[in-house]
Structure 1
Amino acid sequence: MNQQIKSLLERRVQQCVSDTTDTCEKIERKKKSLMERNGEIIKARATGKVIDQIENEDYSNIYYLAHFQYLIKQHKRYYIEEEVEKRKASFYKSSLMADDEVIEKVDLQVPELELLTDDFRDAETRAPYRYDRRKAVQYAERWWNDYNPAYMKFTDDCTNYISQCLRAGGAPMRGFPNRSSGWWYNNNNWSYSWSVAHALNLYLATSKTGLRAVEVQDPRELQLGDVICYDFEGDGRFNHNTIVTGKDAYGYPLVNAHTYNSRMRYWAYEDSSAYTPNIKYKFYTIIDDD
């Protein structure tokens, strides 16, 4: 791909950040959400990285990753939010015809979990542990837009990433080798709860030993390193997870996530293309096993 088209892509991405028309609906949703929280985007930057190109005579489709960075001011506090979005730009003879986000559908079907009970099978996991929130957040920041080669990478990587963060914080694994039991990763094999959003939600809601959590009702009760689960359609099947890595000026969580890689994003996901008015959330605070 020649440098001219690369430059055109980057200019198009930057235009989307500063555009005030409906052509950048996602950015407008973000601005609206910030305005309701007494915040604003002070400065924005975006770059495009080409990942694939398909040519057909005078037509070409360019798939690229758009990396957005926003300097946000809320009261007297400043922080940087980042996100990476996969997009498709369509050209006719080097003229841009369309530029759209690529929405990838994910199969959410997963077998029902047979969660382990507090019996002799889990005796080795009963040793007291304390969840190291600092290490979990450090891991979340290190790998928010990258992939640790020590683990498998999934097309829908959000829960795999959250599980890695929890593990980095010292959360104990249990259940191996039964994939429908417990929460674990071992030699490129893993439990459903390690990699599937709905399964992790079920695990956190019911686990009595090893990695455990308590559901709270107000997101402001969450601490750094805690987990939010998302049911975008409100149909009872949770399809996304994030980890709390910061707080805004009102004490609401800012989160990191994979699949659509992002960091320090406002917890409610109102600017997401997956957001619907029926969205439901679960807020889990990780508890220590003293």
Structure 2
Amino acid sequence: MRVVLQELFTKRAEQFVSTNRNRHDTFSKAERKLEAASRRSADIVKVNITGKIMKNTSEDEFETVKYQAHYQYLIKQRGKLYLEEEIEDRLAKFYKGSLIQDEEMFPIQFQVPPAVEYMPENETQRDRISYQYDRLKAVQYAERWWNSYNPVYKRFENDCTNFISQCLRSGGAPMRGYPNRGTGWWLQTNNWSYSWAIAHSLRLYFSNSKLGLRAQEVGSPDQLLLGDVICYDFEGDGRFNHNTIVTGKDAYGLPLVNAHTYNSRQRYWAYEDSSAYTPNIKYKFFTIVDE
């Protein structure tokens, strides 16, 4: 079974390389990746895929394997090389040792409570909390924990916003609002604000907060700095369901991002190669403001 998966990884890795883009049997994930790279004048020059088995169950002559595929893409753009990484949860089924099914497992979406919206606060000058956002520390945290989980913090099944909040906190962003979950941005033992852990709530917080952790919306991704945040509404229905943090720039000065849930590192910001992408996708670009 391990040998079969490794052979599968080897074949798939070849399909991601830009020089093989004319193959007719290309893995759909590779097609998305190649098309997205081509649109920004980038070439995927080498890919390495490794696997980690998470759970293995057997019944009669059938075997079901839940595993993680770790993709490493060496990307070249205008003479610049950088490494992008991504983790994908997959489910494989075998019959008598032969692979009969292999598909991506999509994480359960964290449902936003219907009544949760940002609650305006009576913010006064005396309530202000002075801080300077340390972008380097935020990025260092995102690099350290992009594919693992800091045991100091609670882990969520849909962990993208929790991860971004941890990065912001590592950069010195002050928490406030406890114990009202609909107010502020905070984590306290086993309780947290909606904005700490829910993608749509953090987007609303950024748009409305006037003290403590604050952010300013900008019109385009090239205006973002390292440590800034991008919010994603994949369906374009007004409810944002993913967040990433800027950890680098490509050869054109556009953001590369780290994220959890779909654990990824130095991924191109637009997510056009994601299985969650739709033509209706909307973005919000937020730069963190010092207080």
TM-score, length-normalised on structure 1? Answer: 0.94
Using the size of structure 2 for normalisation, the TM-score is: 0.94
The residue that corresponds to 2:18 in the other structure is none
Deviations 1:116-158 (A, max 9, x none): 33148x72xx232111000000000000000000100000000
Aligned residues: 282
Gaps of at least 5 residues in structure 2 are 16-22
Q: 1:211 and 1:127 mapped to 2: Cα distance?
A: 9
Q: Which of structure 1's runs of 4+ aligned residues deviate more than 3 A?
A: 20-23
Output one character per residue of 1:194-240: Cα deviation in whole Å (capped at 9) or x when no partner.
Answer: 00000000000110000000001110000000000000000000000
Q: Secondary structure at the match of 2:109?
A: coil
Letter in structure 2 aligned against 1:17: A
Q: 1:8 aligns with which of 4, 7, 16?
A: 4
Distance 2:27 2:103 in 1: 10
Amino acid at match of 2:232: Y
Q: Tell me, in whole angstroms, the C-alpha distance in 2 between the residues paired with 1:26 and 1:36.
A: 16
Q: Is 1:75 paired with 2:75?
A: no
Is residue 2:133 matched to residue 1:131?
Answer: yes
* Aligned residue type for 1:268: A
Alignment partner of 1:37 is 2:32? no
Aligned-residue RMSD, C-alpha: 1.3
Residue pairs, 1:42-61, within 5 angstroms = 42-61=45-64
Q: Secondary structure at the match of 1:90?
A: strand
Q: Which residue among 243, 262, 287 is the counterpart of 1:285? A: 287
Letter in 2 for 1:259: T
Are residue 205 (structure 1) and residue 207 (structure 2) matched? Answer: yes
Give the letter aligned to residue 53 of structure 2. V
**C-alpha distance in structure 2 between counterparts of 1:107 and 1:197, whole Å:** 9
2:20 aligns to what?
none
SS in 1 for 2:27: helix
Letter in 1 for 2:131: Y
Measured in 1, the distance between the counterparts of 2:30 and 2:122 equals: 46
> Structure 2 CA distance, aligned partners of 1:153 and 1:21?
41
Alignment gaps of 5+ in structure 1: none
Q: Select 1:17's aligned residue among 7, 13, 16.
A: 13
* Alpha-carbon displacement from aligned partner over 1:231-285 (angstroms, at most 9, x marks no partner): 0000000000000000001111000000010000000000111000000000000
Tell me which of 217, 220, 223 is aligned to 1:221: 223
Cα-to-partner distance string for 1:34-89 (whole Å, 9 max, x where unaligned): 11211111111010100011212111111100000011000110000000000011
What is the Cα deviation at residue 22 of structure 1?
5.0
Q: Contact 1:108–1:239 at 8 Å: present in 2 too?
A: no
